[in-house]
Each structure stands twice: as structure tokens, then as C-alpha cells.
């Protein structure tokens, strides 16, 4: 049998809990002392008007020292249920936003797998990039979890499953591990909706704010922007020049900004610490072709996906731009998704369209769950590349 663990999705990441006791808050109605661990992400009730300002003040990072990014003073955070599945089944604890839950249920039903034994979750704090202190600590925890899962299942190599930004995290993790270690502990790596070349949507997050699918009539993008501008992971997901070439990604005030001009873009938009944060993640790869393990890749296509952003004169960056779309999975642009074709040990590539082909919905597809079940059960045969 082949067992696996997983990371979860990009800018919407994993469940994050917080415990805070702050001396000051932005408004008199904001709670200073949580008195216990409470949900910070995803906290739907925290997104309501006025209340969201309290949430942003708690969840944004302290960027005083770019090389020592940390929580706002007085705030502690942790991911939920590391090693188990409560933190990855749903994005919120009220179970409104499903992530891996249907896939987990499918593996339990089809293969008799068990949560916490041979289905392990490895949620991470999605605000941080891998080169931060928090990111590096996560890599250490992940290594131990792989080894523990291997031993817990009669020395059976682990199949790792990653989604969205979990894939670049996986690229960095596997590149750090020695080949001897990977040969012993890793059976393979399955990528769903990998952001291997970044996503244009990340640029809009920093410029004008991103509500992550929540209604803009309720959630103010500019309020979300205050939090998003402090997260190095968002800058890390800016589309790479090798993917976007010379395509203008932002058109504003008579200027065209390409993927080679992010520093100038951030300076012109007057993003506080933006250029420094972008420089900080410059040497952290999103994609490396040779990870030393077998790779299986699936993603969605033919979904309307943000690509370029055009600002009317005098509206940059505080008004929402006109969005020019292209092909992708609704979140990640197609050239970025297709980088997974370049893995040296690619065993399977499949692009799916139609119903449930968007960035998160791909995890709910019956054919995707069937593929993963067959792979884990040893029923998958042959190498193939499909676009359906």
C-alpha cells in the first residue's frame, strides 16, 4: 500500500487559530483579549463590515524587520490539527468552505484509509514564504511527519499530495531533502492546481486588495489589502518573467508594467515595505524541474482567469481595476499551471475542463478522486498526458 499526506491551498491556505492580548486596537469595539484560542482564518463572521478592521489588525504581520517577520505584537498563531485532517477538510470550522473533505471521504470509502494514520494533514500558515523563520520551522515539522507516517505504516513510503501554493512549498521542501532520504521515505508527489509560475491575481491583491471570493459588497478589498501587503507569500506568487514574458500585467497612469518591473510597480503604488518584501523572496523558487521523485500533475483549464489589470487615469492603485482575463483555472494562469509538464520525472499530466474544473473545485471531482485512489492502491499504470 502507498500512503500519503498533503498540503493545502494558496492564498486561502489552511485554518489558522490565534490567541491575542493587545494593548491597543484600531477601534474601541475591537476585542483586546481573546482569552483563549480562536479562529482567525477562515473566520467568516470576522469579514463583516467594521469587524473586519479588528481582524486585519490581528492577522496582519509585523514587517518592521523584513528578515524577522512575525505576528502583530501580542498575537500568537498556530495552524489547526497538524498531522490530522481537521485543518484541511474545510477552510472554516463551520464547514461552509470545503477543501479536501470529499477527497478524504472518498479514500476512506474506496481504500479503507484512516485519518491520522495513513491520511495525514500538513497545514501551514499561508502568510509566510518558505524562507521565513516560520516557513523553515514548517519544513522541519513536515520532515518529521513524513518519517512518522512511514514508520506508522510498516515502513511504507509516503505519497505527498499538494494543492495550489502547497506545490511551490513542496518544491522547496523536496529540493532541501537529500536524495537518499527521498528514496527511502517518498513514493511520489501529486500536484493539484500548482502555482508553479505565480498568478496574476496576486498582483491585484497587493495593488488594490483581494476578497478571495467573498462578496465585495460585504468585504472591502482595500481593508483586505492592508493585511495582504504584509504577507511575503503574496509577493512570492507574483507571475514569473519566464511565464509572462513581456506581457503588460498592470496598465496605469500611462505606463505598462511587466513581470520584470515589479519593484518599480511597488514603488509607484507606494506599497509600504513592498519592494523590500519582493526582494526578500526573490531567491525562493516556485518551480524546479528535478525534485528527485516521481510526479503526477492535474489542473483545470478553460476557466476565466485574471491576467492583466487596467486602471483608469487617477485611480491607481486605490480603485479596483478593469480586469482582462485569459485561460487558466479561475485563479492560476495556464502557463503557470503547465510548468508541471517540465518535471523530469513526470509520470502523469492531466488538464480538466467543464464542471468542477476551477482552482478549488478540482478537489471535488469524482474522476480526480478515482485517479488518486487508483494511484494509492497501485492500480495506476503507464505514463500519459491528457487534456480533457
Nearest to 237 by CA among 189, 278, 296: 278
Does residue 329 contact residue 353 with C-beta atoms inside 8 Å? Answer: no
> Looking at residue 215, what is its pLDDT?
67
Does residue 307 contact residue 197 with C-beta atoms inside 8 Å? Answer: no
Q: How confident is the model at residue 205 (pLDDT cuts 50, 70, 90)?
A: very high
Contacts of 6 (CB under 8 A, 6+ apart): 88, 100, 120, 121, 122, 160, 161, 162, 163, 166
Contacts of 152 (CB under 8 A, 6+ apart): 117, 118
The dihedral region occupied by 356, where left means phi > 0, alpha psi between -120 and 50, and beta the remainder, is left
Q: How confident is the model at residue 182 (pLDDT cuts 50, 70, 90)?
A: very high
> Looking at residue 341, what is its pLDDT?
97
Contacts of 199 (CB under 8 A, 6+ apart): 10, 237, 239, 306, 328, 331, 332, 333, 336
Contacts of 198 (CB under 8 A, 6+ apart): 236, 237, 238, 239, 240, 243, 286, 336
Distance CA(207)–CA(192), nearest Å, equals 27
Nearest to 330 by CA among 351, 355, 352, 301: 301
Q: pTM of the full predicted structure?
A: 0.94
Distance CA(177)–CA(173), nearest Å, equals 7
Does residue 325 contact residue 304 with C-beta atoms inside 8 Å? Answer: yes
Residue 217 phi, psi dihedral angles, 5° rounding: -65, -20
pLDDT one-digit tens code per residue, 214-244: 666 678 899 999 999 999 999 999 999 999 9
CA 228 centroid distance within chain: 13
Residue 1 scores a pLDDT above 50: no
Among the residues of the chain, which ranges form H helices?
A: 51-59, 86-89, 101-111, 133-152, 166-176, 179-185, 200-208, 221-228, 232-236, 241-244, 262-268, 274-280, 334-337, 366-376
pLDDT one-digit tens code per residue, 240-276: 999 999 999 999 999 999 999 999 999 999 999 999 9
Contacts of 173 (CB under 8 A, 6+ apart): 130, 139, 142, 143
Distance CA(309)–CA(357), nearest Å, equals 24
Q: What is the mean pLDDT of the chain?
A: 92
Distance CA(239)–CA(244), nearest Å, equals 7
Q: How confident is the model at residue 384 (pLDDT cuts 50, 70, 90)?
A: low
Nearest to 174 by CA among 281, 85, 287, 82: 287
> Looking at residue 266, what is its pLDDT?
98
When pLDDT is averaged across residues 85-94 and rounded to a whole number, the result is 88
Read off the C-alpha cell for 43. Answer: 473566520
Distance CA(159)–CA(307), nearest Å, equals 33
Amino acid at each position: 500500500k502507498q500512503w500519503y499526506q498533503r498540503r493545502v491551498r494558496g492564498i486561502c491556505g489552511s485554518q489558522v487559530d490565534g490567541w491575542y492580548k493587545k494593548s491597543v486596537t484600531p477601534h474601541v469595539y475591537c476585542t483586546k483579549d481573546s482569552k483563549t484560542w480562536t479562529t482567525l482564518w477562515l473566520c467568516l463572521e470576522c469579514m463583516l463590515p467594521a469587524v473586519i478592521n479588528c481582524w486585519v489588525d490581528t492577522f496582519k504581520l509585523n514587517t518592521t524587520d523584513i528578515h524577522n517577520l512575525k505576528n502583530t505584537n501580542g498575537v500568537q498563531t498556530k495552524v489547526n490539527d497538524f498531522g490530522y485532517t481537521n485543518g484541511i477538510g474545510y477552510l472554516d470550522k463551520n464547514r461552509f468552505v470545503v477543501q479536501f473533505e470529499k477527497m478524504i471521504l472518498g479514500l476512506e470509502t474506496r481504500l479503507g484509509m484512516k485519518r491520522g494514520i495513513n491520511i495525514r494533514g500538513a497545514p501551514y500558515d499561508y502568510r509566510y514564504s518558505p524562507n521565513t523563520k516560520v516557513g523553515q520551522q514548517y519544513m522541519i515539522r513536515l520532515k518529521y511527519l513524513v518519517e512518522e507516517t512511514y514508520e506508522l505504516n510498516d515502513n511504507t513510503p509516503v505519497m505527498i499530495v499538494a494543492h495550489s501554493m502547497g506545490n511551490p512549498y513542496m518544491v522547496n521542501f523536496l529540493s532541501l531533502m537529500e536524495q537518499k532520504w527521498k528514496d527511502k521515505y517518498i513514493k511520489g508527489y501529486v500536484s493539484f492546481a500548482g502555482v508553479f509560475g505565480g498568478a496574476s491575481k496576486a498582483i491585484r491583491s497587493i495593488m488594490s486588495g483581494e476578497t478571495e471570493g467573498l462578496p465585495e459588497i460585504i468585504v472591502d478589498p482595500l481593508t483586505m489589502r492592508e493585511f495582504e501587503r504584509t504577507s511575503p507569500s503574496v509577493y512570492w506568487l507574483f507571475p514569473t518573467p519566464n511565464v509572462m514574458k513581456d506581457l503588460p500585467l498592470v496598465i496605469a497612469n500611462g505606463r505598462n508594467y511587466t513581470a520584470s518591473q515589479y519593484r518599480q510597480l511597488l514603488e509607484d503604488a507606494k506599497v509600504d515595505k513592498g519592494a523590500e518584501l519582493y526582494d526578500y523572496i526573490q531567491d525562493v523558487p516556485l518551480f524546479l524541474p528535478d525534485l528527485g521523485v516521481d510526479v503526477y500533475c492535474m489542473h483545470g483549464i478553460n476557466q476565466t482567469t485574471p491576467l492583466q489589470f487596467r486602471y483608469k487615469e487617477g485611480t491607481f492603485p486605490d480603485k479596483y481595476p478593469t480586469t482582462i482575463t485569459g485561460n487558466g483555472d479561475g485563479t492560476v494562469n495556464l502557463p503557470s499551471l503547465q510548468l508541471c509538464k517540465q518535471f523530469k520525472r513526470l509520470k502523469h499530466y492531466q488538464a480538466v475542463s467543464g464542471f468542477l474544473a476551477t482552482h478549488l473545485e478540482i478537489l471535488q471531482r469524482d474522476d480526480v478522486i478515482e485517479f488518486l485512489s487508483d494511484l494509492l492502491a497501485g492500480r495506476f499504470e503507464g505514463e500519459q498526458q491528457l487534456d480533457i
